[in-house]
Amino acid sequence: TRIKLEMYLLSPPRTLRCVIVSVKMATSASASLSKTIKQQYMELPQGDKVQAMYIWVDGTGEGLRCKTRTLDFEPKSIEDLPEWNFDGSSTYQAEGSNSDMYLIPAAMFRDPFRKDPNKLVLCEVQKYNRKPAETNLRITCKKVMEMVADQHPWFGMEQEYTILGTDGHPFGWPSNGFPGPQGPYYCGVGADKAYGRDIVEAHYRACLYAGVNICGTNAEVMPAQWEFQVGPCEGIDMGDHLWVARFILHRVCEDFGVVASFDPKPIPGNWNGAGCHTNFSTKEMREDGGLKAIEESIEKLGKRHEYHIRAYDPKGGLDNARRLTGRHETSNIHEFSAGVANRGASIRIPRSVGQEKRGYFEDRRPSANCDPYGVTEALIRTCLLNEEGEEPTDY
């Protein structure tokens, strides 16, 4: 709760009135636990043991799960990490009668919460019969990336998110109303414009420590909405690094007692949604005269718009339909468009790329809760493998 003092100059004598403005946030009970007491235990020596936190995507295609095991040595590569298992009936991935699922280590990062020598381990999920789980999009993405490795595909993804209280109310918003209209918040500075910067700074530093290729961050158009960028990453690394960056964000928000939402339209009405704009290039596009290859790729994308819309959110386009309305810096979900420096288009060519005739393009359609493996795979299939039609080719 904050107290606001208002001075009224109606007539002598001047009057001073105290107005109480309610901005109390709903935070988790865990956030009130003493971090000082916890730190006593975190500073205890752990001998020659290492804690490895295994992370995976659950059956929703957007939720993350994790659990930790002890290793007798510090792993130096993925090959050093053992497979593990979990109960898939509790993660929307299996029935209780046959619930064992396998965790296959895929990428390893430093653990910014327990610190060295402990690790974060991103895993693929396999079913009891060793076939990939339905939401394990990494396996086909990796196969497709290997097919075009000689073209050196680079990606950069701009992850937008909204900080919420545990009651689903945006962080810092009045409990019984709305903040001022959009305008002063994008890249804003000041307590009345930037809501939750402590979380952003903690997440940024934790990603750098972990080895995530995070390259920037900024406040977004809607208050309590932020963005971080990951990239450039080549091939499968894009999906690996973005998923781990998301996990780290969730864990940081957990410590602060708030929630990070990747919902593409968390607040209905005249407020910006949240996307995951994806920047893409190949070696040919980055070289002199690469604009021709960029334009050829955009032409291919225009012929396969519905396929990409289905691939760009976990509900096959239903989530994105709330966001891609043609307003609030988005294109219309039913139409494909492209333009130089046009943030209302499906595909934006940056002005510098148009001038230099080489570089990259930005696909502005992916939703904030997209699976980066699905997005990057779709771009490769259409732009580099020249696939057509509404279904992906089975290789």
Q: What is the pLDDT, as a whole number, of residue 238?
A: 98
Structure confidence at residue 97 (pLDDT):
83
pLDDT for res 239: 98
Query: If you average pLDDT over every residue of the chain, what do you get?
Result: 93
pLDDT of residue 12: 52
Is 144-384 in the same CATH topology as 47-135?
A: no
Q: Mean pLDDT of residues grouped by 10 in the chain (395 residues)?
A: 44 49 75 94 97 98 98 97 97 90 98 98 96 97 98 98 96 91 96 96 98 98 97 98 98 97 95 97 98 97 97 96 94 94 93 96 98 98 96 93
pLDDT of residue 1: 43
CATH says 144-384 is which class?
Answer: alpha beta
Three-state SS string over the chain comes to CEEEEEEECCCCCCEEEEEEECCCCCCCHHHHCCHHHHHHHHCCCCCCCEEEEEEEECCCCCCEEEEEEEECCCCCCHHHCCCEEEEHHHCCCCCHHHCEEEEEEEEEEECCCCCCCCEEEEEEEECCCCCECCCCCHHHHHHHHHHCHHHCCEEEEEEEEEEECCCCCECCCCCCCCCCCCCCCCCCCCCCCCCCHHHHHHHHHHHHHHCCCEEEEEECCCCCEEEEEEEEEECCHHHHHHHHHHHHHHHHHHHHCCEEECCCCCCCCCCCCCEEEEEEECHHHHCCCCHHHHHHHHHHHHCCHHHHHHHCCCCCCHHHHCCCECCCCCCECCCCCEEECCCCCCEEECHHHHHHCCCCEEECCCECCCCHHHHHHHHHHHHCCCCCCCCCCCC
Provide the pLDDT for residue 4. Answer: 45
Span 162-179, pLDDT tens digits: 999 999 999 999 988 899
Structure tokens given for 32 = 């009130």
Whether the model clears a pTM of 0.85, i.e. scores above it, the answer is yes
- Domain locations along the chain: 47-135, 144-384
The pLDDT value given to residue 2? 44
Segment 192-250, tens digit of pLDDT: 999 999 999 999 999 999 999 999 999 999 999 999 999 999 999 999 999 999 999 99
What per-residue confidence (pLDDT) applies to 14? 53
Instruction: Give the integer Cα–Cα distance in Å for 162 and 273.
Output: 9
The half-sphere exposure of 211 on its side-chain side, counting CA atoms within 13 A, is 13
Q: Which fold has domain 47-135?
A: Ubiquitin-like (UB roll) (3.10.20)
